Structure 1
């Protein structure tokens, strides 16, 4: 008995954070800075900044000319079909599909990275606030449930997050895309500036430089982070700390406090619920290397394991109180999957700028904020979309099959090729109850744990929107006078936006939502969920900035409630 008591004592902390990505890093930093002894659990391997294996390799240093081998494709078949991830320079950041299987009723692209830092190492870094319009949209349209918060509730937390992570961007004065605290913006190139002027003149729509979590100036509070080197090799991991990730920023800050215990290779598979106390007392952990099972205990638990990671843990946590999954009194756990639909837009070639070029490899592009279903504009679908795009010139690779030799070849190689421009839409997916994920107890993963089955698809609203996403892009490029304008619309499944959201949504009513306005589980006040699963609607902006702001806000509330002994 004494041994058990001693073991429990050694495994007891003030707080537990599950996951080390965008949200988990913020939870860890904020909890430890508030002097809470915090256990941070990561299911994957250890990664420390600046140890990224391919970050400084030249193309000729990568095996197989950087291309995937047959063995790679065999190990990552679902990810290989996306064309995103199975390359020699980044394949190590993405999971082995055979060891971590999932099933899909309709195609679902689930892109995962199991390691310390999670997808904060590979994220796209575009950082936009949701506006007042986005938090009111469900109520206004009579769709799903109303957000339990408004823009004013989150604005100070957006402020805090932007100042910390370093967001490069320009203040544009666009009401529905609120300005924030920005580092110097990156520059639009000459063709993009041309597009900006013409789109403004002919359509009254703004074209701005993307707002991105890159340090374009020194961040005094993060001396370990350097500034962006404009290498555009971000998905390999940045040894300079030029962009924000939890491994280069929030986790080192948490470590500095002396209050963090970081434990990699620790798969949280269940929450421990005490029926008498009406609280969660801890988590059950499977060691990914040894298979050993351990329990850890804490007063407060933050689930930041990614949308489907956190939802898996909750669905797999069955008790007398929660027979259908932890906190699932509403029956909404696992439902309302959202993402952004993309792979639709237009491209063109551009003449007349042959005497101009650009410097560096800008890890960013232009952004056209949403303009549909706003003001007097009314479409035959709800919500809208934004565009991300860029203009560039063809380089020496256009000459791979060049037949000239000697001086003639040298002269040809020294001249850049043709300018081209393209833009792709990011459209809002509505929170449909029918878009869901369920626990599959028949198919087990490498560790003997249940897996997930996805049943989600685009619906009529998104397909109507996609017509505008392609046609509007072409219309703008044609109005700018560009040549060979062509549209594209590639059929995709949900998931490829890698912005999965909504499976444990926030709401005002415990009967229709899983979390309250503080990201607390309605039915269990000492468990908070602050990753994408908390989202009530998706808007069309990249969502990671919102996850971080929600996390910082939830920790502030949790600490105050702990101090009042309400948790």
Structure 2
């Protein structure tokens, strides 16, 4: 083990993980003057290294399809999702053959080990949480109470939305507060018609342009890094050479690098956080070099854990000591528990007629969003389930492909636009439950000698009842808009499939029932902060990443003040 030259290996701050929250933590720390080391377990990637970004589908192998044989060999767990692994994005996605895991109950774990992490291929939807979310656990007696409320995080939403660049439309809805928006990507003619017809029939159901981290307007004095305006190519998960959507490699890490305070060490697998029982703080981070297998310890004053919900908690559980035999800061026993996601796989499809003489330009990166409208108040209260769901969808013209045509008739037909079709999917909240968990198998090691991960989580009665209503409400809206050929589906997904995993190191007021305090600081180890999805106390219905960013900015500001006051 290399522990020599500790001065060389010492930094003011260490950030574990370079994804969406890790990149933001690094930028904030570097901007405040802290010499910061970012540890990334995967390969180095810099902005512009997007190998399929400019390829058309016919330039990709097998028309973008990954063969059944390759999926069986390398993606045998992820192939259960069907749609996820393609030729245009597989270089961002870990192979199950390299990073397998075990399941008591099915969990779909999607990972990307490289600098930038899943910020390169995330869905980019950004919706604020409200007190409907932060107060729900306490009101309903579910899990534990959040230690914060909307007023605590609202100014941090302002800060990160301004830098990130969130395109959206103000609607004045309490359940998804309005933010600092760039102009929205407007609804097309059929989507606008759908909005109006749904509003007539169901005033509480609002069809609004999706709020996304794509720059509909580029402001160079605000949107730092390597960024520019969205070109409406809709190839976002390949990586954007224009930097038009927010990612670590296009935005936060370049800004951090400009300060001169950033060091990125890729191929660095964090095995544990080292605890000093004398100071009662963490002294550093031990890594395994992925290329040489050498073990190295890096030292720092503060540590930010941003390795993803599962990655962060795995590191904490593996950080065992005499003081914390069950994992760092795990006096509550809650590390690994309360694993959440959003559940989806329920939605509708239908044809909208009457717009055959109209078309639209470009391939905008988002369609519409319908925020939660159930269990908002007494009027919308449901008797069969708690919380709610939102919808993401869009309406587009499909290829005109008559079944019986061939030859010249077929050629002529496919060059003409077909009808408008609406597709939308519901995203529902999963309640925190102690029995939904992940844990380490110390008897089964991976190729780096690290304990492997086992999942044991499932959808429960509340989620199953919610799914029925989500499909029912979706059909109602399509019928109100006069859609034809309406079809619906309710294909129960496993946790993880939505790639919004949360929980496992939750925030709370009581150290006996939670891992982190209201500042994302470990109750029992004051110089360790967790600001990725692991910190979440409930899951809401909204895509969570913008909330991670707001919590990260807030936690860095708090840590900085604590250091300056001599408390850290």
TM-score bracket, shorter-length normalisation: over 0.9
Aligned to 2:545: 544
Q: Is the 1:345–1:471 contact (alpha carbons within 8 Å) kept by the matching residues of 2?
A: no
Most deviating of 306-315 and 445-454: 445-454
Compute the displacement of 1:85 (Å).
2.9
Most deviating of 487-496 and 507-516: 487-496
* Whole-Å separation in 1 of the counterparts to 2:471 and 2:102: 31
* Whole-Å separation in 1 of the counterparts to 2:325 and 2:120: 36
Which residue, 253, 270, 273 being the options, matches 1:271? 273
Superimposed CA distance per residue, residues 372-430 of structure 1 (whole angstroms, 9 cap, x where no aligned partner): 0122222121100111111111126x36984031xx45542332112111211110000
CA separation of 1:223 and 1:260: change in aligned 2, threshold 3 A: closer
Instruction: Give the match's secondary structure for 2:534.
Output: helix
Compute the displacement of 1:216 (Å).
0.7
Aligned to 2:247: 245
Which residue, 231, 234, 254 being the options, matches 2:233? 231
Runs of 4+ in 1 over 6 A off after TM superposition: none
Compute the displacement of 1:226 (Å).
1.1
* Whole-Å separation in 2 of the counterparts to 1:410 and 1:371: 45
Which residue, 287, 292, 316 being the options, matches 2:289? 287
Instruction: Give the match's secondary structure for 2:88.
Output: coil
Pairing 1:18-57 to 2, within 5 Å after superposition: 18-57=16-55
Pairing 1:250-261 to 2, within 5 Å after superposition: 250-261=252-263
Superimposed CA distance per residue, residues 174-209 of structure 1 (whole angstroms, 9 cap, x where no aligned partner): 112100011110011111111101111111021100
Aligned to 1:496: 497
Superimposed CA distance per residue, residues 222-261 of structure 1 (whole angstroms, 9 cap, x where no aligned partner): 2620111111110100000010001000000000000011
Compute the displacement of 1:5 (Å).
8.1
Q: Is the 1:219–1:225 contact (alpha carbons within 8 Å) kept by the matching residues of 2?
A: no
Aligned to 2:434: 433
Aligned to 2:129: 130
Aligned to 2:207: 207
* Whole-Å separation in 2 of the counterparts to 1:274 and 1:130: 37
Q: Is the 2:313–2:505 contact (alpha carbons within 8 Å) kept by the matching residues of 1?
A: yes
Q: Is the 1:73–1:86 contact (alpha carbons within 8 Å) kept by the matching residues of 2?
A: no
Most deviating of 55-64 and 276-285: 55-64
> CA RMSD, aligned part only?
1.4
* Whole-Å separation in 2 of the counterparts to 1:518 and 1:8: 30
Which residue, 384, 391, 394 being the options, matches 1:390? 394
Most deviating of 499-508 and 171-180: 171-180
CA separation of 1:316 and 1:6: change in aligned 2, threshold 3 A: closer
Which residue, 5, 9, 13 being the options, matches 2:7? 9
Aligned to 1:60: 58
Pairing 1:159-238 to 2, within 5 Å after superposition: 159-204=158-203, 205-220=205-220, 221=222, 222=224, 224-238=226-240
Q: Is the 1:85–1:94 contact (alpha carbons within 8 Å) kept by the matching residues of 2?
A: no
Aligned to 1:306: 308
Instruction: Give the match's secondary structure for 2:556.
Output: helix
* Whole-Å separation in 2 of the counterparts to 1:438 and 1:219: 45
TM-score, length basis structure 1: 0.97
Q: Is the 2:2–2:297 contact (alpha carbons within 8 Å) kept by the matching residues of 1?
A: no
* Whole-Å separation in 2 of the counterparts to 1:51 and 1:154: 34
Instruction: Give the match's secondary structure for 1:394.
Output: strand
Instruction: Give the match's secondary structure for 1:520.
Output: coil
Compute the displacement of 1:63 (Å).
1.8
* Whole-Å separation in 2 of the counterparts to 1:362 and 1:223: 23
Instruction: Give the match's secondary structure for 2:417.
Output: coil
* Whole-Å separation in 1 of the counterparts to 2:277 and 2:442: 25
Q: Is the 1:272–1:283 contact (alpha carbons within 8 Å) kept by the matching residues of 2?
A: yes
Aligned to 1:318: 320
Q: Is the 1:55–1:238 contact (alpha carbons within 8 Å) kept by the matching residues of 2?
A: yes
Instruction: Give the match's secondary structure for 1:248.
Output: helix
* Whole-Å separation in 2 of the counterparts to 1:4 and 1:277: 23
Most deviating of 440-449 and 155-164: 440-449
